Chains A and B, each alone.
Chain A
Amino acid sequence: MGVRYIASRFVTAGVTIGLIVVLNFVLFRMMPGSPERLLLGRMPGVSANVLETTRERWGLDKPLFPDQFVAYVSSTLQGDLGFSYAARGRPVTDVIAQRIGPTVLLFGLGEVVAIFLGLALGAWSGWKRGGLIDHVGNGVSLILYSTPYFLLGMGLMIVFATGLGWFPTYGMRDVGRVYPGQLEELIDMARHLALPLATVSLGLIGQYAIVMRSSIVETLSEDYITTARAKGLNDGRVLRSHALPNAMLPTVTLIAINLGYVVAGAITVEVVFNWPGLGTLTVDALASRDYPVLQGVFLLLSVAVVLANLLADLAYGLLDPRVRR
C-alpha cells in the first residue's frame, strides 16, 4: 500500500476531526443565555457580583474568538470536556466513560453477529438468485431494513419478555440483587443482553444481506467467474475463491459508512431496553438539557465514526491491490 494513499487518508480524517471540534464549539455557543446564567440563574438570590466573578473565572468575559475558542480547543485536547449539569458537576468524561462499556458490548457483539449472518444470508441468496432462499431472504431483509430498531425491540420485548417471560425487560442486571458469585452475575447479564442483542443484530442483518447480495450478483456477471467455470471448477470453489473475496470488498466500506447510521439505532435500542449505555445517556441529557454531556457524546461518536472510516479505507487498501493511489 502506497505511503501517499495512507497519508492522504490520515490527513482527511484529521481535517474532519478538526471540523468536528469547530462545529461542536460553534453549535453550542449559538445557544441563547450564557453558561453562567444557565447554571447559576436557576438558583434564587444569586447576586450580580457572583455572576460577574463566575464569568471572569470561566473566561466568559473574553471574546469568543480567539480566546474562548483557543481555551475550548486546548482543554478538549487535554481530555477536559467540562462538567455535567445534570450529574451535579461531575466531569463529562467521567459520566461518559461509565457508559461506554455497555454500548461497546452491545454493539460490538451485534455487529459481529450481523456481519456473519448478514453476509452469509446475502451471499447465499445472491448465489441462488431467483431461488426460494433469495425470495424469502430478500423479502425479510427489505422488511427488516424498513423497520426502525426500536420497533423491533418493542416487538421482541412483548413476545419474549412480557409474553413468554424468558427474558427480563429492563436494564443490564436485576435491580438490587446480590450475586453469590461472578458466574451468576455473568449469566444474569447475558439474560439481560439477549433481547437488545437480538434487536441490534436483526436490524443490521437486513442491510448487510442486501449489500452482500447485490455485490455477489454483480460479481457473478464478471468475466473471471465465467473463466473459472470454464476451467471446470466446481461451484464451491468458484464461490469461495473467486466470487466471495471480490464481493466482500464493497461491503467492507459499506459496513464502515453504515456505522454513522448504526449510532441512531444504538440510541433507540438502548432506550427501549433501558440499557445503561451512551444512547440512554444521550436521551437523558437531551431531556434535562445537559448540553455539556451532549457535546461530549457528539464529539466521541463523531470521532469514533471518522476513525472507523479511516480503518475501513486502510483495510480496503490492504485487501484491494488496485487501490494504490
Chain B
Amino acid sequence: MTAPAVPVGAGVVAARPPGGVISVVGRLVRRPNGFIGFAILAIFSFLAAVPDLLVGPLQTAVTATGPRLAPPSEAYPFGTDQLGRSMLNLTVHATRISMVIGLLATVITVGVGAVLGIVSGYVGGRLDAVAMRIADFFLVLPTFVLAIILTGIIREVIGTGSREIFGIRLSLLVIVVVIGITSWSATARIIRAQTLSLRERAFVDRARVIGASGGHIMGRHILPNVMNLIVANAVLTFAGAILTETTLSFIGLGDPFQPSWGQLLEAARSVGAPGLGAWWYFVPAGASVVLVVFAFTLVGAALDSVLNPKLATRR
C-alpha cells in the first residue's frame, strides 16, 4: 500500500509551530535580546534558590551587626540599613520573596485566564457572554486600587498573624491571590480569541466527528495549540506581577518579616533614605526590580519574534 498523500493527523501537526520546547528555547537564546534576558533571569533565579548559601540567613534587628545606615564598605558591599543589617543580605533574601510571589501570582493568573479563555471560547453561548462581560469589567477597572482594597479586606477577614503555608507568610499569599483576581482577564481575552479560531479548524471538527468529548477536545486539541500563547503571556504576566507586588509592598502592604524588594523600597522611603542621600538603601532593590522586569520584557519580545517569524522580518 502506498503512503497516503496527507498523513493522518496532518491538521494537528500543521497547527503547531515547528519544533518543540527545546528548539524554541534554543532559538530564543541565539537572539541577543533573548540571551540577555535569559542570562539576567538565570542569575536572579540562582540568588533566589540559595540565598542562605550566598549571604547567610536573613538578618533581623537582633542579628544585625553593622553600623547604622552606613555607606558601602568592604565588610558591607551594599551598605547597611538603619538597624545595621547588611543591604546585600536583605536584597538577596528579598530576591527569593519577590520571585516566588511573582511566580505563584503568574501561575494563578495564567491558569485562571487560560482555563476561562479556552472553556469560554470553545463552549460559547451564554457562558461566553457572561465570562467576557466580567473580563471586560476587570479590564476597565483601575485594578491597582481594587488590589489595595481587596488586600486590606481579605486580611481583615481571615486575619493574618504569623501563620505560614509552605514557608510563605499568609499576608504575602493574600497578595498572590489578589494579583491573580485582578489580572486574569487580559489572559482570558487573548486565549479566548485564539480558541475561537481554533474551534473552526478541521482537526477539531475531525475529533468531534469521531465522538471526542468537549473536555477531550479542549484538553488534547485546543490546549496544545494555545500553549505558545500561554507561555508568551506568562512571561509578560510575570513581569507585571513583580511590578504589582513591588508597588503594593511599597505603599505598606508588604510583610516586614519576609521582605520583598518592594518592602525594602518602602523601608527606604519611610526612613527618608532619598532625603538623607542614602542611595545604597534603595538602589540594589530598585535595580533588581528594573533588571528582572526588563529581562522578562526582552524574553517576551524574543519569544514573540521566534513564534511569529512574519513579524520578525517586518520589524
Q: A: which residues have CB within 8 A of B?
A: 16, 19-20, 27-28, 30-32, 129, 142-143, 145-148, 150-151, 154-155, 157-158, 161-163, 169-170, 217, 221, 257, 259-261, 263-264, 267-268, 271-272, 282-283, 286-287, 289, 291, 294-295, 297-298, 301-302, 305-306, 309
Contact = CB atoms under 8 A, between A and B. Distances in A.
A286 B252 contact: yes
Contacts of B314: 217, 221
Task: Pick the 4 closest A-B CB pairs, nearest first.
Answer: A264-B144, A146-B293, A263-B142, A146-B294
B156 A263 contact: no
Given A151-B290, A268-B250, A282 B148 contact: yes
Interface stretch (B70-78, B88-96, B268-276): B268-276
B277 interface: yes
Contacts of A151: 265, 282, 286, 289-290
A161 B142 CA distance: 31
A267 B149 contact: no
A263 B286 contact: no
B294 A31 contact: no
Contact of B142 (A145, A148, A301): A301
A148 B243 contact: yes
B275 A31 contact: no
A39 to B, nearest CB: 15
A16 B139 CA distance: 11
B266 to A, nearest CB: 9
Given A261-B144, A305-B142, A28 B247 contact: no
Interface in B138-184: 139-146, 148-150, 152-153, 156-157
A145 B148 CA distance: 22
A50 to B, nearest CB: 24
B286 A289 contact: no
Contacts of B251: 267-268, 271, 282-283, 286
Contacts of A143: 290, 294
Given A148-B246, A268-B250, A272-B269, A260 B157 contact: no
B297 interface: yes
A146 B290 contact: yes
Given A146-B239, A305-B142, A27 B150 contact: yes
Interface string B297-315: 1100000000000000011
B250 A150 contact: yes
A260 B140 contact: yes
Contacts of B142: 259-261, 263-264, 298, 301-302, 305
A305 B239 CA distance: 24
Interface string B250-285: 111100000000000100110001111101001000
Contacts of B139: 257
B252 A268 contact: no
Contacts of A157: 274-275
10 contacts: A147-B293, A150-B250, A217-B315, A264-B144, A264-B145, A264-B247, A267-B148, A271-B251, A286-B152, A286-B253
A264 B144 CA distance: 6
A188 B139 CA distance: 39
B153 A28 contact: yes
Interface in B205-230: none
A310 to B, nearest CB: 10
Given A16-B140, A282-B148, 19 more contacts: A16-B137, A142-B297, A142-B298, A143-B290, A146-B297, A154-B268, A154-B269, A154-B282, A158-B274, A264-B247, A267-B144, A271-B269, A272-B274, A298-B142, A298-B146, A298-B149, A302-B141, A302-B142, A309-B140
A260 B141 contact: yes
Given A150-B247, A150-B250, A301 B286 contact: no
A282 B247 CA distance: 13
A32 B153 CA distance: 9
Contacts of B145: 263-264, 267, 282, 297-298, 301-302
A32 B156 contact: yes
Contact of B144 (A170, A263, A287): A263
Contacts of A267: 144-145, 148, 251
A263 B282 CA distance: 23
Contacts of B239: 146
B141 A147 contact: no
Contacts of A295: 149
A260 B244 CA distance: 13
B247 A148 contact: yes
A112 to B, nearest CB: 20
B193 to A, nearest CB: 16
B265 A150 contact: yes
Contacts of B298: 142
Contact of A169 (B148, B152, B250, B274): B274
B290 A32 contact: no
Contacts of A283: 251-252
A257 B138 CA distance: 12
Nearest to A19: B137
B11 to A, nearest CB: 30
B309 to A, nearest CB: 15
B153 A31 contact: yes
Contacts of B157: 30-32
